[in-house]
C-alpha cells in the first residue's frame, strides 16, 4: 500500500457553459474539485469534460449524502468499494462514463486507489484503468476537515446569477434566454437603484451592454458597493450573444486563478497566443462584425495542446475589421479582442 502521504484539499471549480457554433448549448456547472498535492485531480487525468459529485446545483440532501459517502459513512455505491470521482456534467448516468476509484480507510488514513474509466456496473482495470495515477494516502484529520467543512455550511457559493444592464433590449433578451438555457439565471434592468441588498447578493456578475453609459455603470457599481456585495463587472465587447455568454462565463469562474487550465489569451499580428497549464483540448472561435453590423463566425482551432504557450495562426478573413477570439476548454473560457 502507498507509503507516502499526499495532501488533500478542495476548491471551487466550474464546467463552463456556452452557446456552441452548431446552435447547441453546453450546460454551466459549478462544483467542488479535489486538490491532490496542490493540483486539481481532474487535471492529472486525461482531458475530461466532467464534474465531481460535489456539484452546487444538486439538492442539499443529495450534496450532504455525497460528502458523507466520501467520508465512508455509507456503503460504496458501486461494487468493489468503488465511488464515482468524476461524472458526466449533463446527467448522472453511469453509461455516459465516469472516473471511479476504490476509497477505503486504513487506520486513521484514507486511501484512493485503482482509478478507472467506468461505463457499467464493474470496472475493467486492465482495459480502462488510469495506470500511474495513485494510489493516494491522505491523512485522516486533513481529509475529514476538508470534507467536513462542506457539511458545516462552508461550501463555496457559486452565485450563478447575472444582472444585465443596457439599452438594447432585444440583445439583452436573447442573452438572458441563452444564459437561462445553459443554467445561469439572468435578470434585465435599467439600473440597480432601490434593489434590496439581499437581492443584490444573489448576483455573481453584472454585465453592461455596449450602449450602457458611464453614468449608468457608475450608479450600478455604487449600488453594489453600498450593499457590501463584491461582484464581477463585465463590459460587453459587442452585441454577439455567444461572445457575451463567454465573457459572463469567465466572470462567473470562482476557481483559483493558479488552478485553471486556460490562463492566457491574446490576439494580434495574425495570431492568437494561448497558454494552458496542462494538456487539454482547446477550441478557438473568431467572431467578426462587418460594416453592415452582421456577425460572422469562424472556427479557428480545435485540438489538444500540451502545457505551455502556443501560437495559433488566424485567418485574415476571419478577423478582418472589428473581431474577437474565444478560447474554450471544458473547464474555462477566455475572450480577447483582436488587435490589428
**pLDDT value at residue 330:** 87
* Contact between residue 290 and residue 297 where contact means Cβ atoms under 8 Å apart: no
Residue 168: pLDDT band by 50, 70, 90 thresholds? confident
* Interval 316-332: pLDDT, tens: 888 888 999 999 998 89
**pLDDT value at residue 72:** 96
Secondary structure (DSSP) of 12-43: EEEE--EE-TTS-EE--EEEEEEEETTEEHHH
Average pLDDT of the segment spanning 61-67: 91
Would the pLDDT of 340 be above 80?
no
C-alpha cell at 327: 478560447
For the chain, give the mean pLDDT. 90
Residue 159: pLDDT band by 50, 70, 90 thresholds? low
- As a whole number of angstroms, the distance between CA 269 and CA 272 comes to 8
* Interval 247-265: pLDDT, tens: 999 999 988 888 899 999 9
163 compared with 59, residue with greater pLDDT = 163
* Interval 193-233: pLDDT, tens: 778 888 888 899 999 987 788 888 888 999 999 888 888 99
* Contact between residue 276 and residue 261 where contact means Cβ atoms under 8 Å apart: yes
- As a whole number of angstroms, the distance between CA 45 and CA 34 comes to 12
Closest CA to 313 of 273, 265, 264, 256: 273
Closest CA to 21 of 290, 241, 175, 186: 241
* Interval 103-156: pLDDT, tens: 999 999 999 999 999 998 888 888 899 988 989 999 999 999 999 999 886 665
**pLDDT value at residue 144:** 96
**pLDDT value at residue 185:** 92
Amino acid at each position: 500500500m502507498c507509503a507516502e502521504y499526499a495532501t488533500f484539499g478542495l476548491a471551487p471549480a466550474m464546467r463552463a457553459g456556452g452557446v456552441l457554433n452548431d446552435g447547441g448549448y453546453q450546460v454551466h456547472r459549478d462544483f467542488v474539485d479535489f486538490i491532490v498535492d496542490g493540483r486539481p485531480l481532474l487535471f492529472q487525468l486525461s482531458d475530461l469534460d466532467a464534474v465531481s459529485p460535489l456539484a452546487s446545483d444538486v439538492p442539499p440532501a443529495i450534496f450532504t449524502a455525497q460528502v458523507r459517502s466520501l467520508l465512508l459513512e455509507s456503503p460504496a455505491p458501486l461494487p468493489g468499494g468503488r465511488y464515482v470521482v468524476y461524472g458526466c456534467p449533463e446527467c448522472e448516468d453511469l453509461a455516459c462514463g465516469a472516473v471511479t476509484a476504490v476509497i477505503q480507510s486504513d487506520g486513521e488514513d484514507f486511501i484512493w486507489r485503482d482509478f478507472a474509466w467506468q461505463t457499467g456496473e464493474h470496472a475493467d482495470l486492465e482495459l480502462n484503468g488510469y495506470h500511474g495515477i495513485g494510489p493516494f494516502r491522505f491523512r485522516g484529520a486533513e481529509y475529514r476537515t476538508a470534507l467536513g467543512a462542506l457539511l458545516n455550511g462552508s461550501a463555496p457559493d457559486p452565485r450563478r446569477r447575472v444582472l444585465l444592464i443596457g439599452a438594447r433590449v432585444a440583445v439583452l433578451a436573447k442573452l438572458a434566454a441563452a444564459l437561462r438555457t445553459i443554467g445561469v439565471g439572468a435578470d434585465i434592468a435599467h439600473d440597480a437603484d432601490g434593489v434590496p441588498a439581499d437581492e443584490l447578493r444573489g448576483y455573481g456578475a453584472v454585465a453592461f451592454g455596449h450602449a450602457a453609459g458611464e453614468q449608468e455603470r457608475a450608479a450600478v457599481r455604487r449600488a453594489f458597493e453600498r450593499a457590501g456585495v463584491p461582484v464581477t463587472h463585465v463590459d460587453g465587447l459587442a452585441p454577439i450573444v455567444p461572445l457575451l455568454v463567454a465573457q459572463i462565463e469567465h466572470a462567473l469562474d470562482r476557481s483559483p486563478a493558479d488552478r485553471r487550465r486556460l490562463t492566457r489569451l491574446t490576439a494580434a499580428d495574425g495570431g492568437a497566443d494561448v497558454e494552458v497549464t496542462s494538456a487539454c483540448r482547446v477550441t478557438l472561435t473568431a467572431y467578426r462584425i462587418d460594416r453592415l453590423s452582421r456577425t460572422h463566425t469562424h472556427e479557428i482551432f480545435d485540438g489538444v495542446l500540451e502545457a505551455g504557450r502556443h501560437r495559433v495562426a488566424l485567418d485574415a478573413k476571419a478577423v478582418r475589421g472589428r473581431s474577437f477570439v474565444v478560447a474554450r476548454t471544458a473547464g474555462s473560457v477566455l475572450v480577447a479582442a483582436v488587435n490589428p
